[in-house]
A and B are shown apart, each in its own frame.
Chain A
Amino acid sequence: MTEAILPLALENVSLEIGGVRLIKDIQCRFEAGPRSVVIGPNGAGKSLFLRLCHGLIAPTSGAGRWQGPAGAAQPGAAQAMVFQRPVMLRRSVAANVDYALKLKGHARAERAEIIDEALARCGLRRLRDQPARVLSFGEQQKLALARAWALRPQVLFLDEPTASLDPAATHAVEEIVQAIHDAGTRIIMTTHDLGQARRLSDEVLFLHRGRLLEHAEAGAFFENPKNDLAQAFVRGELLWWRYGRDNRRAEADPTAEDLD
């Protein structure tokens, strides 16, 4: 836990499924410290990108390398991920956190205290003995965060942690994410909420159809994105939608030639 796994370097990472290139030659580096927010239209490859970084799927070509002193051995142990759809085990709220801690090798004696703290931080203490799957969507999302937080990961990936949450729940989740960041965890997240991207980002990655089109410091990015598509996206123009996923390889698409 003391030895760092960061930085993470992606070297020409591509992913191909069923003959379609879904992630194309991504080259980037994540240093310790700032919060990264990955944005881009539906189907841009944000979720796949996070999975590749987290090591859940292997790239077809290229490689992701954890270059920190502890990165070579078991980098997975120092990471956690909160998925777009929360996955709840058929157990109580507390038992969901407990199982995650158990998998990471925490002794039973120390688990209870960590669980209490994580549930308290995420406002779930009163629900601790409820079956996790009867919780509301927002509560489940908070539990997924509590579970991730309890693991004290060095790097936490969050895939649209506030999608379909109401404003109050969104605010609560953002505060939790901020607190996790303050406690020293490297945050790498995706969102469709540009306001949220502004609030939670130190740097921004703009993905479009599997390509990383821009990777910039947040202030500069929102002020004046260099990439045309990023500009349109940030201004809320519908460009990315009109040339959307349905005609991925259509000739009518002026951006198609530099892709594929």
Chain B
Amino acid sequence: MNDFGDAFWAAFQLVVSLDADLTEIVGLSLQVSLTAVFIAALIGLPLGAAVALFRFPGRMAVVVILNAFMGLPPVVVGLVVYLLLSRAGPFGVLGLLFTPTAMIIAQVILITPIIAALTRQVIEDLWSEYEEQLRSLGAGPARALTALLWDGRFSLVTAVLAGFGRASAEVGAVMIVGGNIDHVSRVMTTAIALEVSKGDLALALGLGLILLVLSTGINGAAFLIKEMALKRHA
């Protein structure tokens, strides 16, 4: 128990003193996950909206796949991206393996389906509510798209936050494709895994604290946004 107390105190000091190693790791984590969530939103929002609004052959299959892929196991995504980016793989020449870019790619694959599937649900519900009125006003699905994205803004922000939460908390994919290389591809989750196995509880706990604050913060924000939207727009 004393061990734990000491480690906790050391962790606290690391956080408060903005320890260089710690800030570097946190910085890279945020950079990787924010970039990934930005790209995933850029793909997922229009993709989800398009699937919700347009009828095309194979649409049902896309819907099923998006929903199924919401729960992709990170290690499997990591493995597949690893195989694609490894020397012998089709994209080996790019030399991306064990770089932050590889980690971003893996996370984009992981969270794009989450954002797209949630977006589809939000936009489909809105459209079924608005369809007649908007058609009456002369707007078909294509013209209504921007209005629907705007009217769904609160739920969509929540969807994007869900993607960010998943990206920043997962360890399997970034571990495999990033390799957890010090000063290069070490992020919070991989560092925690490594430091625990090395016995450096202080850094692990410090990072754990930050991760905890971050993820509860995200979920809290998502909840508050939903609440606010409900109050404002019922």
Q: A residues bordering B, Cβ < 8 Å?
A: 51, 54, 56, 76-77, 79-81, 83, 87, 89-91, 99-100, 103-104, 131, 133-134, 151
Q: Could you tell me the distance between the alpha carbons of A216 and B143 in the complex, rounded to whole angstroms? A: 40
Q: Any chain A CB within 8 A of the CB of B224?
A: no
Q: Could you tell me the distance between the alpha carbons of A151 and B137 in the complex, rounded to whole angstroms? A: 9
CB distance from B147 to the nearest CB of A (A): 7
Is the CB–CB distance between B232 and A89 below 8 Å? no
List 21 contacting pairs A-B, 8 Å CB cutoff, sorted by A: A54-B136, A80-B137, A83-B133, A87-B129, A89-B130, A89-B151, A90-B229, A90-B233, A91-B150, A91-B151, A99-B137, A99-B147, A103-B134, A103-B143, A104-B138, A131-B233, A131-B234, A133-B232, A133-B234, A134-B232, A134-B233
Q: Any chain A CB within 8 A of the CB of B60?
A: no
Is the CB–CB distance between B232 and A87 below 8 Å? no
Select from chain B the residue with minimum beta-carbon distance to A79.
B136
Q: Any chain A CB within 8 A of the CB of B42?
A: no
Complex interface residues of chain B between 216 and 234 (CB less than 8 A to chain A): 229, 232-234
Closest 10 A/B residue pairs (Cβ) = A87-B133, A90-B233, A133-B234, A90-B151, A81-B136, A103-B137, A133-B233, A131-B232, A103-B139, A100-B137
Q: Could you tell me the distance between the alpha carbons of A87 and B233 in the complex, rounded to whole angstroms? A: 12
Q: Could you tell me the distance between the alpha carbons of A100 and B133 in the complex, rounded to whole angstroms? A: 10
Interface size on B, residues (CB 8 A): 19
Interface code B127-149, partner A: CB below 8 Å = 1, 0 otherwise?
00110111111110001000100
Q: Could you tell me the distance between the alpha carbons of A51 and B132 in the complex, rounded to whole angstroms? A: 9
- Identify which of B132, B143, B152 contacts A83 (C-beta below 8 A): B132
Q: Could you tell me the distance between the alpha carbons of A151 and B136 in the complex, rounded to whole angstroms? A: 12
Q: B residues bordering A, Cβ < 8 Å?
A: 129-130, 132-139, 143, 147, 150-152, 229, 232-234
CB distance from B157 to the nearest CB of A (A): 13
B139 CB contacts on chain A under 8 angstroms: 103
Select from chain A the residue with minimum beta-carbon distance to B155.
A90
Most B-side CB within 10 Å, residue of A80, A89, A91, A99? A89
Q: Could you tell me the distance between the alpha carbons of A76 and B137 in the complex, rounded to whole angstroms? A: 8
- Identify which of A87, A91, A103, A131 contacts B138 (C-beta below 8 A): A103
Contacts A104-B137, A134-B232 given; indicate if A87 touches B130 (C-beta within 8 A). yes
B234 CB contacts on chain A under 8 angstroms: 131, 133-134
Q: Could you tell me the distance between the alpha carbons of A57 and B132 in the complex, rounded to whole angstroms? A: 10
CB distance from B123 to the nearest CB of A (A): 13
Q: Could you tell me the distance between the alpha carbons of A73 and B150 in the complex, rounded to whole angstroms? A: 31
- In addition to A100-B137, A104-B137, 16 A-B residue pairs with Cβ atoms within 8 Å of each other are A51-B132, A56-B135, A56-B136, A79-B136, A81-B136, A83-B132, A83-B133, A83-B136, A87-B129, A89-B130, A90-B151, A103-B134, A131-B233, A133-B232, A134-B232, A134-B233
Q: Secondary structure at chain B's binding surface: helix, strand, loop or mixed?
A: helix
Q: Could you tell me the distance between the alpha carbons of A87 and B126 in the complex, rounded to whole angstroms? A: 11
B135 CB contacts on chain A under 8 angstroms: 56
Select from chain B the residue with minimum beta-carbon distance to A80.
B136
CB distance from B141 to the nearest CB of A (A): 13
Q: Could you tell me the distance between the alpha carbons of A56 and B137 in the complex, rounded to whole angstroms? A: 10
B152 CB contacts on chain A under 8 angstroms: 90
Is the CB–CB distance between A87 and B132 below 8 Å? yes
Q: Could you tell me the distance between the alpha carbons of A87 and B147 in the complex, rounded to whole angstroms? A: 14
B147 CB contacts on chain A under 8 angstroms: 89, 99
Select from chain A the residue with minimum beta-carbon distance to B129.
A87
Q: Could you tell me the distance between the alpha carbons of A134 and B231 in the complex, rounded to whole angstroms? A: 8
CB distance from A148 to the nearest CB of B (A): 9
Select from chain B the residue with minimum beta-carbon distance to A105.
B138
A76 CB contacts on chain B under 8 angstroms: 138
CB distance from B150 to the nearest CB of A (A): 8
Select from chain A the residue with minimum beta-carbon distance to B151.
A90
B229 CB contacts on chain A under 8 angstroms: 90
A99 CB contacts on chain B under 8 angstroms: 137, 147
Q: Could you tell me the distance between the alpha carbons of A192 and B102 in the complex, rounded to whole angstroms? A: 65
A79 CB contacts on chain B under 8 angstroms: 136
Select from chain B the residue with minimum beta-carbon distance to A86.
B133
CB distance from A66 to the nearest CB of B (A): 15
Q: Could you tell me the distance between the alpha carbons of A176 and B132 in the complex, rounded to whole angstroms? A: 23
Select from chain B the residue with minimum beta-carbon distance to A54.
B136
B150 CB contacts on chain A under 8 angstroms: 91
Q: Could you tell me the distance between the alpha carbons of A230 and B185 in the complex, rounded to whole angstroms? A: 80
B129 CB contacts on chain A under 8 angstroms: 87
CB distance from A98 to the nearest CB of B (A): 11
Q: Could you tell me the distance between the alpha carbons of A133 and B154 in the complex, rounded to whole angstroms? A: 15
